[in-house]
Structure 1
Amino acid sequence: MTLASTFRMFAALLLALCAATQPVQAERIKDLGAFQGLRANQLTGYGIVVGLPGTGDDNLQYATLAMRGVTNRFGLTLPPGINPATRNAAAVMVTAELPPMAKPGQRLDVTVSAIGQAKSLRGGTLIMMPLLGADGQIYAMAQGNLAVGGLGVTGADGSNTVVNIPSVGRIAGGATVERAVDTGFDQSPHLLFNLNDADLTTAMRVADAINGQFGYALAVANDAVSVRIAAPVTPQERVLMMSRIENIPVTPAEAAAKVIVNARTGTVVINGAVRIGPAAVSHGKLTVKVQEAPTVVQPAPFSQGQTAVEQRSQVEIEEETNPAFEITKGANLSEIVETINAIGASPSDLAAILEALKQSGSLKAELVIL
């Protein structure tokens, strides 16, 4: 299947989607954003994985230091000069995400990544180590056996085969929360609801929907992102109010007109809000073909000449001319795709046409080049 035929199929799919496009549907407030303070927090830690079948770090200094740190926790001091990191252990970084309102005793999934020369963490066990937040405090402790999806095999001659990433593994429920994060949502006189995408119209609609649900002026749009809500005093009443607010349906504002062009892959995405003013477009293709047909030239008999190769080149230039097509005023997405598809433009040609339309002022949308 050629690139042009693939693009025609893609354009036909866009036309079908445009024909079936319905007005913006109402969404729950919880799908448009989140309350301030109720967010996840990233945790990181440094530890050691042991029990590896010879695929760990080899005399790596920080792996040795980590192993000494582990043994010191149990009152064991290794004699100077002894290197415990002999391919059966690996120094690792451990990361996890602490969910909002996580309480001590809850379990977290952790990701374990080798930071040294370990070839594989398969079969290893993470020794108990702390997970720290951005403030340097310990919020969880991690330990457990790794599940590694990758595989690495090395032959005696040095050849090797690697499937996926064997130097990264996960431990399901491998960490236990030791400290809760103080969100402060039960102490502030107001609650702040932050939208995922900044939009003044959507913020106003969220505030109006909340006030309509409760029957009085409870919420005020601070800006294009946040909505301030007067909160009850007790935590129980706050939780009840937040639960009701999350499930209120709101019709968000239509997205701003955007055209996204990925120059590396040739992908072009046009949202339904894009409109194009009156314009005439002419697009053609220039093809240059060079054919080499060298021939061998023999000297005349008894001429004491030498056989030579004579170069013969044939250059052909073909220019495909397409008549100019006109885009009417206020053309929508389906009309744009249908018009450009009529000339058989490839995705790269489409990107060039849209960029030219933007420069001419006919494209009333933000052009984003990735």
Structure 2
Amino acid sequence: MRALLIVIALFFSTSAQAERIKDMGQFEGLRANQLTGYGVVVGLAGTGDDSLDYATQGVKGAISRFGVNLPAGINPALKNAAAVMITAELPPFAKPGQRLDVTVSALGKAKSLRGGTLVMAPLYGADGQIYAMAQGNLVVGGLGVDAADGSKLSVNIPSAGRIGSGATVERSVDTGFAQSPHLTFNLAQQDISNAGLVADAINRQLGGNVAQAVDGASIRINAPTGGETRIRMMGIIENIEIKKAQPPARVIVNARTGTVVINGAVRVGPAAVSHGKLTVKVDENPTVVQPAPFSRGQTALEPSSDIAIQENTNPAYLWDKGASLSDIVKAINKLNVSPGDLVAILEALSQAGALSAELVVI
């Protein structure tokens, strides 16, 4: 069966569509912060960690908050509890009292967290400070079933779940953008041309020379201090529309999936491409040989092989100088090649100097 060839063509017209600056990157400092924590999920229907040491310690720590201390050497059976890691994302400008969604994942041998409840657990930032407290009932999209004969059925991942609005922010993060000497806008994809275009668009909108392109990824903007003034200024800047510069010519090949992405800046010089395919087919048709009557011979199989060779040839396809993306796609469709053969053709064109693009294989 021939491999499926997927060619995704990204067309860029000569008059590119305008794009908002806010869709091209973000202001420096206005980023989310990752939070992590360790906790215990209880209320499981016999699918917990059993006698896992760190789950036992977690349960002992949880119940000790209420003045319940187990005697030394006694460990509770934990089939209804599980040790978990908790992760969340603290957005910029988050204030105490706001709610966050959290993801809860089993640490040990817990088979499923379905029906469990997370006991109150702190969430820490990279600086070791507590920024939120998490607690609540889990929503688990997976399902796992074990039968008495050892057979198992699992749908999705039952050992992880989410708690919507399951954490409360306890501490805010100071971004410092209101007192910094200037604002910096960082492009998501560095491009020297786009950095200059963004700076020019900001200067036209705000007047003067308030924006300077520092490098291919950052634009420094002079701004007065004060939170309200800068927020309004940032809102104006984010909604400015510009026409992005055409990206570098690239052909991206995913060797694992056979996906080929060709952007609209790719051009092909004069070249002729011919692609052929050789198919060898071997059929085995063994024949049963019976011995003569009343003889001492034995029934045997006599091998019989048929070998057929077929070579499919395609006429050469000529690309004119400066062939566009649409011409390339039409030629690929006419050649009717597999993903592996297409990669070989593109590499050969690159080696021949006819492909005016960077060939990236991932």
Q: Could you say which TM-score interval applies, normalised by the shorter chain?
A: over 0.9
Change (3 A) 1:304 1:146: closer
**Cα distance change on mapping 1:120 and 1:307 into 2, 3 Å:** closer
Aligned counterpart, 1:225: 217
User: 1:303/1:164 Cα in 2 relative to 1: closer, same or farther (>3 Å)?
Assistant: closer
**Aligned pairs (5 A) from 1:60-99:** 60-99=52-91
Q: Pick closer, same or farther for the CA change 1:364–1:302 going to 2, 3 Å.
A: same
Q: CA 1:292–1:230 in 2, change beyond 3 Å: closer, same or farther? A: same
Q: Which has the higher helix share?
A: 1
Q: Is residue 196 from structure 1 mapped to residue 188 from structure 2 by the alignment?
A: yes
The one-letter amino acid of 2:40's match is: I
Residues 55 and 78 in structure 2, CA contact (< 8 A), matched pair in contact too? no
SS in 2 for 1:244: helix
Q: Which residue of 1 aligns with 2:96?
A: 104
Residue 43 (str. 1) matches residue 74 (str. 2): no
Give me the identity figure in percent.
67
Letter in 2 for 1:309: L
Instruction: Determine if the alignment matches structure 1 residue 336 to structure 2 residue 328.
Output: yes
Q: Give the CA deviation at 1:299.
A: 4.3
- Structure 2 distance, partners of 1:230, 1:86, is 59
Quote the offset at 1:266 in angstroms. 1.4
Residues 164-243 of structure 1 aligned to structure 2 (within 5 Å): 164-243=156-235
Structure 2 unaligned regions, length at least 5: none
Q: Is the 8 A contact 1:286 1:319 kept in 2?
A: yes
Q: Of 275, 280, 283, which aligns to 1:288?
A: 280
Tell me the TM-score normalised to structure 1 length: 0.93
Equivalent pair of 1:63/1:85 in contact (CA under 8 Å)? no
The one-letter amino acid of 1:272's match is G
1:95 partner SS:
strand
Deviation at 1:159, TM superposition (A): 2.0
Return closer, same or farther for 1:328/1:231 CA change in 2, 3 Å cut-off.
Answer: same
Deviation at 1:311, TM superposition (A): 1.2
The range that moved more, 138-147 or 355-364, is 355-364
Q: What do the CA deviations read for 1:313-369 (whole angstroms, capped 9, x no partner)?
A: 111111111122111111111000112211222333222211221222211112121
Give the letter for the 1:157 counterpart: D
Cα pair 2:202 2:211 within 8 Å, conserved: yes
Quickly say closer, same or farther: Cα 1:207–1:85, change in 2 above 3 A.
farther
Give 2:341's aligned residue.
349
Kept in 2, the 8 Å contact 1:60–1:85? The answer is no
Measured in 1, the distance between the counterparts of 2:315 and 2:81 equals 69
Q: Secondary structure at the match of 1:268?
A: strand
The 5 Å alignment of 1:222-301 reads 222-300=214-292
- 1:25-71 CA-partner distances (Å, limit 9, x unpaired): 11111111000000011111010001111111110001001111112
Q: Give 2:22's aligned amino acid.
A: K
Q: What is residue 153 of structure 2 aligned with on the other side?
A: 161
Q: Which TM-score applies when normalising by structure 2?
A: 0.95
Q: Quick one: which of 304, 319, 334 aligns to 2:311?
A: 319
**What secondary structure, in the 3-state scheme, does the structure 1 residue paired with 2:196 have?**
helix
Indicate the SS of the match to 1:342. Answer: helix
RMSD, matched Cα: 1.9
Match of 1:139 in 2: 131
Once residues 298 and 240 of structure 1 are traced to their aligned partners in structure 2, the CA distance between those partners, rounded to angstroms, is 95
Cα distance, 1:85 vs structure 2? 4.2
Distance, in Å, in 1 between the alignment partners of 2:40 and 2:228 is: 43
How far apart are the structure 1 equivalents of 2:157 and 2:330? 44
Give the aligned partner of residue 362 of structure 1. 354
Among residues 20, 24, 27, which one is paired with 2:19 in the alignment?
27
CA distance 1:23–1:347, change in 2 (3 Å): farther
Letter in 1 for 2:97: G
| Secondary structure, aligned partner of 1:122 | coil
Cα offset, 1:156, TM superposition: 2.3
SS at match of 2:245: coil
Counterpart Cα distance in 2 of 1:261 and 1:228:
36
Q: Distance in 1 between matches of 2:262 and 2:31?
A: 32
Is the Cα–Cα contact under 8 Å of residues 67 and 85 in structure 1 kept in the other structure?
Answer: no
In the alignment of these two chains, the number of paired residues is 362
Cα drift, residue 195 of structure 1: 0.3
> 1:307: how far off?
3.6
- Rounded to whole Å, the distance in 2 between the matches of 1:298 and 1:165 is 58
Check if 1:129 corresponds to 2:121. yes
Deviation track 1:270-298 (CA, whole Å, cap 9, x = no partner) reads 11111111111111001000111212334
- Secondary structure of the residue aligned to 1:62 is helix
